[in-house]
């Protein structure tokens, strides 16, 4: 269905841009938001499992610390991206006038709105 969309205007900065570009960028951002924390937790669990199987106290403590650091990094990645998406959505939807570069950033971070994709309008 994404291939049927027309061009959008990115905050008045980029005219006639294909709506597939911001859709792809926002999809990549959402994949990163989910995949990175999951992978960090999986790798941390593998390290902890190896240390437990080795049954060495020093390795277990080191693996626990590594697991906690990876878990924290995964949570930070998820929430930082989510907060950035929320901030851009709030900043650009505050008023109806053209926000220029903010609309363009919002377009790439959150993807174009359904109205913009269908009508070929502003990428808000």
The 10s digit of each residue's pLDDT in 54-72 is: 888 888 888 888 888 888 8
Q: Is residue 1 part of a domain?
A: no
Count of domains forming the chain: 1
Q: Which range marks the domain in which residue 89 is found? A: 7-119
**What pLDDT digit, counting tens, does each position of 84-121 carry?**
888 877 777 655 555 666 667 777 777 776 655 555 55
Quote the CA–CA distance of 32 and 29 in Å, as a whole number: 5
Q: Is residue 46 part of a domain?
A: yes
Tell me what pLDDT residue 21 has.
78
Tell me what pLDDT residue 47 has.
85
pTM across the whole model: 0.67
Q: Over the range 62-78, which residues count as b (16 or more CB within 10 Å of their CB) and which as e? A: ebeeebeebeeebeebb
- Residue predicted with more confidence, 87 or 14: 87
Q: Is residue 2 part of a domain?
A: no
Q: Is residue 14 part of a domain?
A: yes
């Amino acid at each position: 269905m994404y291939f049927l969309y027309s061009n959008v205007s990115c905050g008045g900065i980029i005219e006639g841009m294909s709506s597939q570009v911001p859709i792809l960028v926002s999809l990549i951002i959402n994949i990163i938001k989910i995949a990175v924390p999951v992978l960090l937790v999986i790798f941390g669990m593998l390290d902890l499992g190896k240390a437990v199987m080795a049954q060495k106290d020093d390795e277990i403590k080191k693996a626990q610390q590594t697991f906690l650091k990876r878990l924290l990094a995964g949570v930070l990645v998820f929430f930082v991206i989510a907060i950035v998406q929320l901030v851009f959505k709030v900043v650009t939807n505050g008023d109806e006038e053209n926000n220029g570069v903010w609309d363009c950033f919002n377009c790439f971070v959150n993807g174009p709105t359904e109205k913009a994709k269908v009508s070929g309008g502003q990428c808000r």
